Amino acid sequence: MNIRPNSLSLALALSLTAASGWVQAQGLHLVTAPSLTTGAAPAATSQADFIVAVVNSEPITNTQVRREVQRVLQQIAQQRQAQPDVRVLGAEVLDNLINLKAQLHHAKDTGVRVEDSAVDMAMQTVAQQNQIDVPELLRRVQRDGMSEADFKTQLRDQITLQRLREREVESRVQVSELDIDQYLQEQNSNQSLSAIQLNLAQVLVSVPESANPEQLEALHKRAQRAWERARHGEDFAALVREFSDAADQVNAGQLGLREASRYPALFVDATQALKVGDVAELVRSPAGFHVLKVVEKIHAGLPTAVVTQSHARHILLVPNARISETEARQKLAEFKKQLVGGHADFATLAREFSQDGSAASGGDLGWASPGMFVPEFEAVMNRLAPGEVSDPLVSRFGVHLIQLQERRQASLSQAQQRESVLGLLREKKIEDSYRTWAQDLRARAYVELREPPL
């Protein structure tokens, strides 16, 4: 059992909202849909339905457009943004529905099929992400005016579109090493100071304006000693306490993350070619001698070189014919009580009960960077403090109990940074390819526009 995400993450497929307007990967938003009286839209909502467009013999009705407009207005209201003109929004919604109909028709013609079991799993995933069970999910769907059959159709369409996109677009996208090299070169050469954020730490050895040559030499030697020890990896905070004359010595001498343009030009020039953790050559300014260490460096358009890693362990119970999901939750809740009360050891429980490959090592998952675990697992783990044990949580793999052991800031290796760039470029290529593919599919579809919507 592996809690790391696979390439066909159903949670990602369901991150698109269902057309009912409130089922979202981030939670349930049970907000009453606004009326369509905004802007130039007619106030009546009980008007007779009619066909507004036909796509490859498939009709799109005014009710479908209005329902999707309501969903969009709902989201806009939740985000407290200005309400758009409803007729303009209606035209955009219709255009999107035409694209979706064309894609669904193509999926059907080319043999994309979604099994009932996949739809059932999708419902379970949506329910789990919102910490409710499937019966409660369906109850809320029906309360908001959508039948269970329509809801399942919406889920089936979402999965169909995701599978079609994976087959027609994502599987054909390739990113070469040359693409990565070229991207890195362009980003590094095109960076302005305002696009780079720096956090530098400094040891300042002050030089008075009235210093004579002997005093200047002594102060230079003092700064040189601090610089040599910093270059050999000594704790920089200790060097700050020992050597620095800066008025503010808190936070290990760090000057704070800010745009590079807000640092003195001397500091930027000295650290421009350095990586995180490097110490610059000794810098002389009117204030004195500066020992500078790069704590953070963030380039717009480039992956961060430092990430927060988590070291966690877990116990996994997989519901089956012998133990239901509810029983698994109850069992793990009892484990948590024992752990919090100091009556049990996490590693011992994991070795005895966990149904995961990590059981032999006491459930230890090792150090993990962001994105290594499935979202539902990682979201809970990220909320834990070191030493804290979660409540039982459900993922697509079963029911987990997580304990966070520690966190750390870790610098990514060059290979890991290139891997991040690869992912970034791949996503961009996928979006560009998808847009071209969707436009071509739309151009080849038969589209007949009839009555304007709304």
Q: What is the pTM of this model?
A: 0.56
Query: What CATH number does the domain containing 340 carry?
Result: 3.10.50.40
Q: Are residues 354 and 287 in the same domain?
A: no
Give 213's contacts (C-beta < 8 A, 6+ positions apart).
none
Are the C-beta atoms of residues 232 and 272 closer than 8 Å to each other?
Answer: no
Task: Determine, yes or no, domain membership for 422.
Answer: no
What is the rounded distance in angstroms from the CA atom of residue 84 to the CA atom of residue 90? 10
Q: Are residues 242 and 269 in the same domain?
A: yes
Nearest 5°: CA angle at 81, between 77 and 86?
70
Ordered DSSP codes for 199-259 = EEEEEEEE--TT--HHHHHHHHHHHHHHHHHHHTT--HHHHHHHH---S---GGGB--SEE
What pLDDT is stored for residue 433 in this prediction? Answer: 95
Q: Are residues 49 and 119 in the same domain?
A: yes
Structure tokens at 140: 């809320």
Give 150's contacts (C-beta < 8 A, 6+ positions apart).
none
Residue type (1 letter), 198: L
No. of helices (H) and no. of strands (E), the chain: 14, 13
310-319 burial, b for 16+ CB within 10 Å, e for fewer? bbbbbbbbee
Q: Are residues 151 and 103 in the same domain?
A: yes
Q: What is the pLDDT along the chain (454 residues), one digit of tens a residue?
A: 455 443 323 222 333 333 333 233 322 233 333 444 444 444 444 567 999 999 999 999 999 999 889 888 988 887 778 888 999 999 999 999 999 999 999 999 999 999 988 898 888 878 876 778 889 999 998 987 789 999 999 999 999 999 999 999 999 999 999 999 888 887 766 556 666 888 999 999 999 989 999 999 999 999 999 999 999 989 898 899 899 998 766 677 888 888 888 899 899 999 988 888 899 999 999 999 999 999 888 776 666 667 788 999 999 999 888 998 889 999 999 999 999 999 999 999 999 999 999 999 999 999 988 878 888 898 889 889 899 999 998 887 889 999 999 998 877 777 877 887 888 888 889 999 999 999 999 999 999 999 888 8
Q: Is residue 399 helix, strand or coil?
A: strand
Task: Determine, yes or no, domain membership for 3.
Answer: no
Kindly state the DSSP code that residue 32 receives in the 8-state scheme.
P
Q: Are residues 17 and 127 in the same domain?
A: yes
What pLDDT is stored for residue 304 in this prediction? Answer: 65
What is the rounded distance in angstroms from the CA atom of residue 343 to the CA atom of residue 314? 17
Q: Are residues 76 and 167 in the same domain?
A: yes
Q: Are residues 98 and 144 in the same domain?
A: yes
> What's the domain range around 292?
192-299
Q: Is residue 106 helix, strand or coil?
A: helix
Q: Are residues 149 and 205 in the same domain?
A: no
Task: Determine, yes or no, domain membership for 1.
Answer: no
118-133 burial, b for 16+ CB within 10 Å, e for fewer? bbebbbbbbbbbbeee
Helix axes 86-109, 148-168, angle to 10 degrees: 70
User: Which of 448, 449, 437 is CA-nearest to residue 110?
Assistant: 437
Are the C-beta atoms of residues 147 and 403 closer than 8 Å to each other?
Answer: no
Are the C-beta atoms of residues 194 and 259 closer than 8 Å to each other?
Answer: yes
- Alpha helices for 254-359 (secondary structure H): 265-271, 325-340, 346-353
The CB-side HSE value for 149 (13 A sphere, CA atoms) comes to: 0
3-state SS track over 160-174: HHHHHHHHHCHHHCC
Q: Are residues 136 and 48 in the same domain?
A: yes
Q: Are residues 161 and 207 in the same domain?
A: no
Q: Are residues 22 and 165 in the same domain?
A: yes
Q: Are residues 20 and 141 in the same domain?
A: yes
What is the rounded distance in angstroms from the CA atom of residue 344 to the CA atom of residue 221? 57
Q: Facing residues of 55 across strands?
A: 58, 447
